[in-house]
Amino acid sequence: MTLVFVETDETGQVALTSAEAVTFARTNAAALARMAGSPSEQPSGASATSGGVAQRPEGSSEEGLGVDVAVIGALTDAAGEQLASLGVGRIHHFESADLEAYSAPAWAQALVEIAPETGTVLASGTPRGMELMAHVAVRTGERIAANVVAADDEGLLRQVLGGAAFERLNLDGDLQVLTIAGHACTPEETTPTSPEVLTHSPEVAAEDLRTRVVRTEVEAADDTSGLTQARAVVGAGRGVGSQDGFDEVLELVDHLGGALGVSRVVTGLGWRPHAEQVGQTGSRITPDVYIACGISGAIQHMAGIEGAKTLIAINTDEESTMVQRADYAIIGDLHEVVGAVNEEIRNRRG
């Protein structure tokens, strides 16, 4: 049985990355159960205020009952419906005034209250998921496998070197603690379940609130949601040439109603803010199309765009990694090509 920590966004929807993690847990339930050394089974829910073993909903898949989820904070009806469509068995909902503001130790301790009853606890490989699973691992005396992409009879496979290589490993503890790499799988709905909601109101130790969020400031410069949710992203690299060289690229972004994403060298040169950086230490994106302008394709940048459905490269070097990995390419100077593309779009609009 696997417990998945689920994040919700500001609209109360299940985050895409969490939907991926739930799908990973469901579709790899058998392998995870074997590695945990126990058959897929439900925990007793001993700490739940409305505990008890869940009845298998009529028409639900047996596979789906191998996955419970934990939600801390608001649990909307929409999130509940999404989780049912993803095939979860039960929803552990943690409600406490002490858990309203994020504090990694307090949230992790809430998960630890039920995690030992499972064979595996996992989260998506977001900063929050990574942080919480690390705390859970320490508090349960277990190891952790971060950025897992596969689980099979040979063990776990996880990304290292920003996705340039994979590490095979086995965790040998009583509880497997994992994070799932972004885009390791695509969220898949299944036969809907009717998950029982178990409400938990844990007591939180004062020591676990030492690092509670005091306040949150929402500023446009911090917002990477436009980048991570855009259907079209236009990427710009060193080939842009200068801080003032983004005009054509930004016009194309506007024509596509998309977002600008830049390489690390661009932020390193101070041409654009870090919130626009795509790659191993920036955002990881999943657009329908990514147009890489003047980006050679360093491993660290490729790690951020592997989720793009269609990759288009505009580059002077036809041997560059970006061109060789692309679905479509134009060989040439990005300013000339992007300028012509913008003109073509304007002409077709009339």
Partner 1 sequence: MDILVCIKRVPDISGQITLDDSGTDIDDSGLGHTTSAHEECAVELAIQTAAATGGKVTVLTLGPAEAVEQLRAAVAVGAHDGILIEAEDPSVFAPEDIAQIIGDVIRDLAEQGQGFDLVLLGNDAADTGDFQVGIRLAYDLGYPVLTGVQALNATGGAGGGSGSSGGSTGASEAGALEARGIGPAGTEIFSLDLPAVIAVQEGGVDPRYPSITGRMKAKRARIAEYVAPEPGTGNPRLGLELPPETASAVTVLGEGPDAAGSLVDVLEEIGVIRS
Compute the distance between CA of residue 94 and CA of residue 75 in angstroms, rounded to an integer.
Answer: 9
Q: How many residues bind partner 1 (CB under 8 A)?
A: 96
Q: Is residue 213 part of the contact set for partner 1 (CB under 8 A)? A: yes
Among 58, 153, 217, 244, binds partner 1 (CB under 8 A): 217
Look at residues 121, 149, 136, 5 and name the one whose alpha carbon lies nearest to residue 73. Answer: 5
Q: Is residue 344 part of the contact set for partner 1 (CB under 8 A)? A: yes
Of 114 and 338, which CB lies nearer to partner 1 in the complex structure?
338
Contact indicator for 173, 67 with CB cutoff of 8 Å: no
* List of residues 6+ apart from 343 with CB closer than 8 A: none
Among 38, 211, 229, 243, binds partner 1 (CB under 8 A): 211
- Give SS3 for 54: coil
Among 151, 275, 292, 293, binds partner 1 (CB under 8 A): 275
Compute the distance between CA of residue 241 and CA of residue 128 in angstroms, rounded to an integer.
Answer: 35
Find the shortest distance in angstroms from Cβ 247 to partner 1: 16
Positions 147 through 186 that interact with partner 1 (CB under 8 A): 147, 155, 157, 159-162, 164-172, 179
Of 97 and 218, which CB lies nearer to partner 1 in the complex structure?
218
Look at residues 142, 147, 185, 186 and name the one whose alpha carbon lies nearest to residue 166. Answer: 147
Q: Is residue 337 part of the contact set for partner 1 (CB under 8 A)? A: yes
Find the shortest distance in angstroms from Cβ 122 to partner 1: 14
Q: Is 180 annotated as a binding residue?
A: no
Contact indicator for 126, 17 with CB cutoff of 8 Å: yes
- Binding site listing for FAD: 238, 263-264, 277-281, 294-301, 315
